[in-house]
Amino acid sequence: MFNHLAAHWPPTIKNRSTRTRRCAIGAAIVTPLLVIGVLSSVHRGAPADSGLAGCTSLSSTHHIAAIDYPKVRAQFADSRWPDLRTAGTAYVDLAMRLRTAPYTDGYETVWFYQRLSAACAKHGPALNAST
């Protein structure tokens, strides 16, 4: 009975063309690479913290304009980590206060910056020493 049904099937192709073989080999190589690429781009876990965005903006190579200080302070204020929230808001408040101060010895600024840098490094990107 099965032989009767098999007689109506198209004949199998045993010798595939070079083009077909190359396409099959290319698909076999590219498919796992695409799967690996897609899976590696998926990020798990909690969404990025706004305090880390503040750390990133302070560690960038360009200087932050004085008009952007309230925005950076708000990023630190919305952080879920208390140490990053405290250090970030204190540092930005000091930076805004120093805009109008005629003189400072720099020790207070260094201390606030070191505290903020430690908090940023604990939860994400470390600050550059150039800022």
The answer to whether residue 131 scores a pLDDT higher than 50 is no
The answer to whether residue 124 scores a pLDDT higher than 50 is yes
- Amino acid identity of residue 32, one-letter, is P
User: Would you tell me how many other CB atoms lie within 10 Å of the CB of residue 31?
Assistant: 10
Tell me if 105 sits within 8 A of 33, measured CB to CB: no
Question: pLDDT, tens digit, for every residue of 35-47?
Answer: 676 666 555 555 5
Tally of helices (H runs) and strands (E runs) in the chain = 6, 0
Question: pLDDT, tens digit, for every residue of 57-115?
Answer: 877 666 778 788 889 889 889 888 888 899 999 988 888 888 877 666 678 888 888 88
Phi, psi values for residue 122, rounded to 5°? -70, -35
